[in-house]
Amino acid sequence: MSDSLTSRGAAGTNRLGRPDQLTVLGFATDASSETVLRDGLSDLSQNGIANTCDIRRGTVKTAIAAMMRMPVPQILVVDIAGDDRPLQSLGELCDVIEPSVSVLVLGDIDDVELYRSINRRIGAVDYIFKPITREMVARYFASLITNDSHIGDSTRGGRVIAITGARGGVGASTIAGLLAWFLGVDSNRHTLLLDADPFIGVALDMLGTTPQRTFRDLLADPDDHGQEAIVEATTPVQNRLHVLGSPPSPGSEAHSIVGNARRVIDAVRFRFNFVIIDLPFLPIPSQRELLELTHHRVIVLDPSVAALRDTLRLLAIPNNPGQPQRPTILLNHEGRPGGLKRKHIEDSLKRKVDIAIPELPKPFAALTSSGRFAGGGKGPLTRMVQDLSREVGFEPGRKTERA
C-alpha cells in the first residue's frame, strides 16, 4: 500500500496549480446523497465559493477505476456504504491517486473505531456519516475548496441558527421552540433558545420560565461582562435546554449598545452546541448584529401573498462569509384553504421549498403540565423538526445518553 492520504493534501489546497482541475469529483452509492452533494456544491457557488464538480453514482471500486483514467480532482468523495472491506478498498484507492488529492469518505456505519481508522490509518480528511445534508456539504467543503482557515475558524463552537418569520404570525417562534426542544431535551445536545424579540418575545412564556436577567438587559448593559456572567443569565428548562429572552414589553425602547449582541453570542457559542435564535426581522442594530453572526438562516412563511413577498425580500439579503449554505425555506400551513399553492410559491421564489408543514387543526405553542412541549410525539411536526435539525447541522447518527 502507498503512503496514507494524510500526506496527500489534507489542507485541501490545489498544490499543483492546475487552472482546469476539477474541484470535486464525487461517487455516492444512493440517489439522495448524490443529489445533496450536487445541490450543496451549487449553494457554495451561488455564495461566492466557485467550484466545478462532477457527482456520479458509484462505489469505492468505481472511484478506483475512474482515477486510473481521469485527471485528478482537488477533492475526491467516495462512499463506503455496503462495502464489506472498506479499509482495504480505501487502501487500494491510495495507490491510484496523486499526493495533491484530498479525500472525504461517506458511510452509513456510525462507529468510532471505523472513524479513527479512516482518519488515522488511511488518512482521509474526514469521515461523514450519512444521511448527509446541504449544511454538512457547506461545512466540510467550503474551507477545503478555498483553503481559507477563517471559514473553518467561524464554525468553531456551537452553531448559531436564526429562525426568521417572513412576517408576524407565520409560526416562526413555535418552530424555533420545537427545534430547540428536540435538540436540547430529546437529543441531549447543549442547546440555547435565544428569543431576540425585545418587544413581544414569547419564548419565556412558552417554556414556563422566569429569568434572573433578560436578553434586553444584556443588550443595554454598558459594562463588558465576562463569558461566565452572560452564560449565567440563561435559564435552564429541561435536560440540556436553556433559554434566554425578555418578557413581553410592547412599550419598551429597543436600546442596545453596539457590540453587546456579539459578546452574548461569543459567550454562549462556547457553552452550547446549538444556539437557536428566534430572530424577527426588525430595523434595529442588535438584530442586524445577530444576523451577521448567524451560521445558517431559516425563513418561515405561510401560503399568503404578503409572506411570499416578504420572503423574497429576506432572500435578497446576502449571506455573510460564515454562511456558505443558502437559507432554508420552511412553508407552514401548507394546504390552508384559500392559501397559495406550493407550486406557485416555488415558481415565485425560483427555488424549491425545503420543508413543509401541512395545515393542522389545532394550535401548538406551550410546555404542557406533563413537562413536554406541545406538538411533540409522532406526526408531521416530529418529521418537520427532524428534517429541520438535519438542515441546520444536527447529525442524528452520533448518539449520546440522555442526562
In the block, which residue shows the cell 446541504? 134
Lowest mean pLDDT among 147-156, 189-198, 308-317, 387-396: 147-156
d(CA 189, CA 274): 8
Q: Is the pLDDT of residue 7 over 50?
A: no
H or E, element range at 291: helix 285-292
CATH class of 159-391: alpha beta
What is the DSSP secondary-structure string of 245-278? -----TTS-----TTHHHHHHHHHTTT-SEEEEE
Backbone φ, ψ for residue 54 (5° rounding):
-140, 105
What's the number of CA atoms in the CB half-sphere (13 Å) around residue 326? 20
Residues of the chain above pLDDT 70, percent: 85
d(CA 130, CA 149): 25
Q: Quote the pTM value.
A: 0.75
Among 384, 375, 325, 250, residue whose Cα is nearest residue 43: 325
Per-residue CA distances from 62 to 65, 67, 77, 244 (Å):
5, 9, 11, 50
Query: What average pLDDT does the segment 47-61 reach?
Result: 90
d(CA 183, CA 27): 31
Domain 5-154 has CATH 3.40.50.2300: yes
Query: What average pLDDT does the segment 353-360 reach?
Result: 91
Burial of 15 (0-12, 13-18, 19+ CB in 10 A): middle
Describe the strand order of the beta sheet including 75-79 as a list of residue ranges: 53-57, 24-28, 75-79, 102-107, 126-129
* The three three-digit cell numbers of residue 372, written as one number: 413536554
* The three three-digit cell numbers of residue 95, written as one number: 495507490
Domain with CATH 3.40.50.2300 in the chain: 5-154
Residues 167-177: tens digit of each pLDDT: 988 999 999 99
At 65 the pLDDT is: 93
* The three three-digit cell numbers of residue 233, written as one number: 443569565
Domain with CATH 3.40.50.300 in the chain: 159-391
Please list, in sequence order, all residues whose beta carbon lies within 8 angstroms of the beta carbon of residue 383, skipping any fewer than 6 positions away.
Answer: none
Q: What is the DSSP letter of 71?
A: P
Lowest mean pLDDT among 95-104, 315-324, 361-370: 361-370
Q: Is the pLDDT of residue 109 over 90?
A: no
d(CA 292, CA 271): 20
Residues 270-313: tens digit of each pLDDT: 889 999 999 998 888 888 899 989 999 999 999 999 999 999 99
3-state class of 389 per DSSP? helix
Lowest mean pLDDT among 15-19, 104-108, 155-159, 184-188: 15-19
What is the DSSP secondary-structure string of 15-65? TT--TT--SEEEEESSHHHHHHHHHHHHHHHHTT----EEEEE--HHHHHH
Please state whether beta strands 241-244 and 235-238 pair in parallel, antiparallel, or not at all (unpaired): antiparallel
At 134 the pLDDT is: 84
Residues 210-246: tens digit of each pLDDT: 888 888 888 888 776 677 888 888 999 999 999 999 8
d(CA 316, CA 11): 33
How sure is the predictor about 374, in pLDDT bands with cuts at 50, 70 and 90?
low
